[in-house]
Structure 1
């Protein structure tokens, strides 16, 4: 029986419309004949040209109504209640047309015939559509894996509808903790309490649980994710409201849980006034705009509608990607921001100065840097060139172009650094502090934060890849801890600090308690529906956790501040610290020596200069 249905679905769209319209015309004629026969109690009756004219007008008006209501644009296999509503509306118009045509043409159309015709037409026009859709659904749902949906609100309802219509998953149950919703039927699915999970899991054997709740507070969501992580099933979610609103995703797209759900704490809420202060209606430039931090800075900046956003990036492909993404966001939020995509290196001072001058840049966010500890450790000269001299070139360009605000994205690894990358970022901070002392026209700010979840080089994408490949998940040390924040948090902190800065300040975020990397790995394993194993602890599970040992230059614990002179700011979660500084004359001498060592490819001299400078640098490369 399904072969004709499959043949119908496989034919061209044009042919489907012709077949459907032909069937509808025949069904309308048959409905009119049956209605007249039932009214006259006779299957054989005579009709005049007046009745024929009434019937032709009725058929034409009905088909025209179907066309206008989009019935022939709808995909037959996805016919649901909205389409049936359109059918009923068209048939009501058809019945009215039949009655009016009988009056105007003086044809023999008894008053009860339009009523009888309406009921029959609904059966003949709507019935086959429901039947075909039901057959298709029951045939194809057997090919789709079962899933549970958590959340019986509007998001869960829309997700269920999207999955039923789609070809990827078959929703079988909706779970919710609200007693008022338990027992309801939503899109044909019964709502069960989450306490029934084990019984329902053994019955339906779902492959994953889809979290469909977007309208709760971040604290509630964290508690919910903690609860779901204990269930023996992979957990995924629908995109966030922000991603849907900006066009980055659609509701029907299923994705891994938001990285923020892995953090274990509610992210810091931004001050919207501070976010807008140095951006709205201003020309803004972001260096390293295609990187993980730089690209998120651009996303946050574009939402505040600057007059112009200059994307400065060395990697052409990354620049192309962020340019395309930002143009989509601009279209979705109806902004008038001009996007300028510029290729180039931050080490080219003249290139940057011309860009800043040509576009009257007022605010610069300097995110361009080499940041992967082992890579910089093995490429000392390039690390110093890019992180120190690149920052110097960008800052000098900003001064010459009369840029008002220049903000450096720094790192917690700049605090008492044990690797060249951290030392280079701390030296970059000192360069800006010395420049802040040398002049007063450009405000220089440094923003220091911890590890960013989801950035390139972050443990989160690495752990995901390792878990999907069946393990092992590699952790350097069982006790290693890190401060964590989200990429949007980091970007918002940078923007807010820039708005509240006095030149030469170092800002840090109150990031709460550090997170053990081992706990993060276990949490990710559980949320991906598996259990961890640990040979050393005798734990047998799906994914092995293997300890590989600390890498050269890697700390067991991270720090965010130097010294004890810490002060609060107007933002409850942002602090500032006064630290050791160098005068510009001292800095100029150091930079000259460092430049000469780089030119001579003398890595030992570079390391010695870093050790002799008040960076707090401890060379652990040999450990």
Structure 2
């Protein structure tokens, strides 16, 4: 017989005995013994008790009292026992009332005081058998031996989420965790006990508690806490060797995308402490819902996330354009699965092909265009500067020109902080892209042309995080270009959401600058990632320095000196003062670039002529190091 079924039958048998005992004890207490029961109450007494036992047993089955895991029973399960006993007693009382109206059964009499006493004994016996099993399980020799080999866990957050984590860890099949206690920022909880476990205090006592209690794992159970608070706690613990896990953010739980019990390892994003983006959904829906939306580079890291976010706002049609067929195919499959009612068009096309782009605009006449297609790898573009100009600059011009000709409502360029005082061809090419946008915006046309500028995106293709993870997986070393190099970071979803929100603010000609938070040292990022992977930097995994790559500078900027920042209603989005450039001036400059490309002359001097802030990395880095 199946072990589970065997346990159910044992419980059923014990419950039947319990119900009989409940009535027996109730009568004994009421009448000081069985023999003292009045004669009129003995008529059909046994039949009545059997009928009531069957009724109560059926109630337990209907209320799923035999499908619970009683070895982890707690207050919730005790309440279930009380409710089941109460419902069973209520059903019996109703049944007796109906029986009393039947002439042949009218002599079946059971006093209400007996029913009340039997209810109390039902709770004691039914609850007792189940909680005795829990007690036996926890004091059994097998469990004691297992407990000695369990990982000692401390839960940070002595609230509802913390209790949920406690139950989740206790319910794990292999039972590898032993929860030692709780920590909480609420000082009033210090010294109290929750579910028999001690609340040690707040983060000021965290390190001392971790050492004293020999903790192996810390679980952050604070789904509604700010990212800044979580970051403080994570930074305290990250060097201790204690494994850290975290509960999902409260908005993910509310959305239903993640369960309360989905405890996950801490990611590098958690250490950045980026707060959840607050969006003006009404404003976004106004310009996306029911509209034809085109995303170039829609298969890339940012482009694909833009597509995911846009699809939520129910566009009339989403047109994805990408040159790389594998990425385009992946996002196509994903969107068809996730948004089956989405009108989706996916095309393999290069933004460098002016005629192909024009034909797509002529066919679909997109009302909103997000231009994310670009070459972005700095060292590669240093070796192939001509390709950066062809793809980034002329590609942007081709898409912007078509948006202009076919009167799209909005055109949003995805730019980069590398466009500010660029030290490499990629950054300079993106600054030229911004100039294209501002030149078209100067025409005071129906189309609102804007650019959105932000820094590095965690986890995007070719970014440092996937590279570091691969190096760690291979056993190291992890290579950092320079110990002092710093960068701004944000997550892919955050960047995409803010880009979409900035599109809602667009009036024409603006360069929106996203708040990237505090800059992060890449060296620190690498070492944190090694620790999160369960290793010690320079002990298990070496960190080496390879030297700055071609075109790379030690720091990035989000704003040029001549640009002023103006805040928007979203605290993470700012507007840079538009720079004056006419379309005629732009076209003359682009003609010179095209001639240089056609005559196969060095392209960098031609770029510098159009972007005066373009300097060599050595000029910028030496000045930075002197500071």
Aligned residue for 1:70? 64
Q: Does the 8 Å CA contact 2:267/2:532 hold for their aligned counterparts? A: no
Q: C-alpha offsets along residues 245-298 of structure 1, whole Å, 9 cap, x if unaligned? A: 333322222234465543367688666676555335544443334433234434
| Alpha-carbon distance in 2 for matches of 1:457, 1:325 | 27
| Alpha-carbon distance in 2 for matches of 1:113, 1:233 | 57
Aligned residue for 1:127? 128
- Please identify, of 469-478 and 305-314, the stretch whose mean Cα deviation from structure 2 is larger: 305-314
**Structure 1 residue matching 2:244: 3-state secondary structure:** strand
**Structure 1 residue matching 2:183: 3-state secondary structure:** strand
Q: C-alpha offsets along residues 75-114 of structure 1, whole Å, 9 cap, x if unaligned? A: 4555433233222222223334445555623225455543
Q: Does the 8 Å CA contact 1:281/1:306 hold for their aligned counterparts? A: yes
Is the counterpart of residue 551 in structure 1 residue 549 in structure 2? yes
- Please identify, of 145-154 and 106-115, the stretch whose mean Cα deviation from structure 2 is larger: 106-115
**Structure 2 residue matching 1:456: 3-state secondary structure:** coil
1:48-447 matches, within 5 Å, as 50-99=44-93, 101=95, 104=100, 105=105, 106-107=107-108, 109=110, 112-135=113-136, 139=143, 144-167=150-173, 169-194=177-202, 195-197=204-206, 200-202=209-211, 204-229=213-238, 231-257=240-266, 259=268, 261-263=270-272, 275=284, 278-280=287-289, 282-298=291-307, 300-301=309-310, 309-310=318-319, 312=321, 314=325, 315-316=327-328, 318-320=330-332, 322-323=334-335, 327=339, 338=342, 340=344, 342-347=346-351, 361-377=366-382, 386-437=391-442, 440-447=445-452
Of residues 479, 490, 495, the one that matches 1:490 is 495
TM-score (norm 2): 0.78
Aligned residue for 2:625? none
Question: Unpaired segments of 5 or more residues in structure 1?
Answer: 329-336, 534-540
Q: Does the 8 Å CA contact 1:369/1:386 hold for their aligned counterparts? A: yes
Deviation at 1:417, TM superposition (A): 3.6
Deviation at 1:56, TM superposition (A): 4.2
Q: Does the 8 Å CA contact 1:373/1:553 hold for their aligned counterparts? A: yes
Is the counterpart of residue 457 in structure 1 residue 462 in structure 2? yes
Deviation at 1:454, TM superposition (A): 3.8
Deviation at 1:546, TM superposition (A): 1.9
| Alpha-carbon distance in 2 for matches of 1:375, 1:73 | 61
Q: C-alpha offsets along residues 486-542 of structure 1, whole Å, 9 cap, x if unaligned? A: 434433442343233343443334546533323444455566776544xxxxxxx55
| Alpha-carbon distance in 1 for matches of 2:330, 2:46 | 68
Of residues 561, 564, 567, the one that matches 1:566 is 564
- Please identify, of 362-371 and 556-565, the stretch whose mean Cα deviation from structure 2 is larger: 556-565
TM-score (norm 1): 0.78
Q: C-alpha offsets along residues 298-318 of structure 1, whole Å, 9 cap, x if unaligned? A: 455456665655555541454
Deviation at 1:385, TM superposition (A): 5.1
Deviation at 1:319, TM superposition (A): 0.3
Q: Does the 8 Å CA contact 1:387/1:425 hold for their aligned counterparts? A: yes
| Alpha-carbon distance in 2 for matches of 1:218, 1:575 | 25
Q: Alignment length, in residue pairs? A: 593
| Alpha-carbon distance in 2 for matches of 1:454, 1:527 | 16
| Alpha-carbon distance in 2 for matches of 1:361, 1:72 | 59
Q: Does the 8 Å CA contact 1:532/1:543 hold for their aligned counterparts? A: yes
Aligned residue for 1:8? 3
How big is the alpha-carbon RMSD for the aligned residues of Structure 1 and Structure 2? Answer: 4.4
Gap change, CA 1:322 and 1:311, over 3 Å in 2:
farther
Gap change, CA 1:115 and 1:270, over 3 Å in 2:
closer
